[in-house]
Amino acid sequence: MRLLSLLVTVSLTLAVAYYIYTPLPDAIQQPWKLMMLDAYFRTGCCRADLAPHFGLLSTRGFEGIMKGLISESSPGPVPGVKVSDITFAGIPVRVYEPPAGGEGHLRRGLVYFHGGGWALGTTSECKYFGSLFCINKLNTVVVSVEYRLYPEVHFPVPYLDCLAAAKHFLSPEVLAKYAIDPERVAVAGDSAGGNLAAAVAQEISVDDSMSVKFSVQALIYPVLQALDFNTPSYVENQYMPILSRSFMIQFWVQYLNADLSLVPQFAVNNHSTLQHSAITPELRSRLDWNVLLPQKYKKNHKPLIVEKGSHGVLKKVPGLLDVRAAPLLAGPEVLAKCPRAYILTCEYDVLRDDGLMYARRLQDAGVTVTIAHYEDGFHGCFSFISWPLEFDVGKRALRGYLSWLQNNL
């Protein structure tokens, strides 16, 4: 009996270790902490996927657990910062206002869109960032937007929520209410929030009805296109925590309200084949990483361009070519009007090349761009800055981000 118990214990231990262990590059610090975090994330996502069939944890339930985990790892509220939960144009927002005083009468303003694959995340996850922006010599009023999420809504609803809240904030009346300098207002976001920030910045930059526009855009490892899931970074980091290629494709498919059976087709670029006349050569050039990426990132990779694949997929999923969903596809005439940009990318992130290509396209359009690339960075590190989810690269990324805003906003 003892031998059987021992065998069971050893077997379970080995099974758990096998499930948790993921080979990581030597540059990743505290690899076991990242492996544990990734295992937790994978388990939550799997349970959420099975929920409808077995009555398990729903996507919203998993979101609650992630919210609690991140909240526990974030420092508490900063004294003196006023936090208000209100609505902008009917969209729930959380507003952070700096303490009285600061560097002058007029303050900076910043609209922030959280990440989470358009399916996870809340404004509460931005509480520490909001407080930091307020007090860290930035004297900034921060608005974190509670846009609606999958599965309740799909594209373009999250984008439209963010656009409505941003336009409301940029109105002269609201800026005056919060004593914000109309020449110093930023839009920012991480991951899917970076996608929304880029898309909203593009729309507002070409909207002649807007008397106030964003001064800068700050994008943290943004997701910007869904036509090529075989860029060098997607291939190299397809199994990297905490965002694998399969998870990112699934987030895209969910966001665009497509059938999840398309995930394997998307993974091999069967949705963007040469037979699709709507994807013109000029449009393909806007995400041609073979031209847009520096050689150090291209290495020996070859573009995966399929002759024939999924028939009629663009009719089923029109959002694939919609610049509101995929800002990297915007034309140069739109990019030329965009505000100067800060783009943070991580070496070990499937989205690395999306950010680098967008930076290059903005620069080619005449926009000033600062690229902050972290050689030891991984997707999500920007959020992991305090125990028990503390990573040095996350703290460095946050300091660099704040420093850039201090100097450019």
Residues identified as active-site: 191, 349, 379
Amino acid at 80: G
Closest CA to 401 of 360, 348, 349, 346: 346
Tokens of 147: 């846009």
Q: Is 85 helix (H, G, I), strand (E, B) or coil?
A: strand
Q: Which two tokens stand for residue 229?
A: 């899931």
Amino acid 155 reads F
Please report which helix (H) or strand (E) contains residue 402, including its range: helix 392-408
Alpha helix segments (H runs only) across 55-179: 59-73, 127-135, 157-170, 172-177
- Alpha-carbon distance of 76 to 150, in angstroms, equals 29
Cα(307)–Cα(300) distance, integer angstroms? 22
Query: How far lies 380's CA from each of 112, 220, 290, 343, in Å?
Result: 16, 9, 26, 14
- CA–CA separation, 271 vs 232, rounded Å? 18
> In which residue are the tokens 């984008």 written?
159
H helix or E strand, kind and range, residue 183: strand 180-190
CA distances from 367 to 217, 333, 360 (A): 11, 11, 9
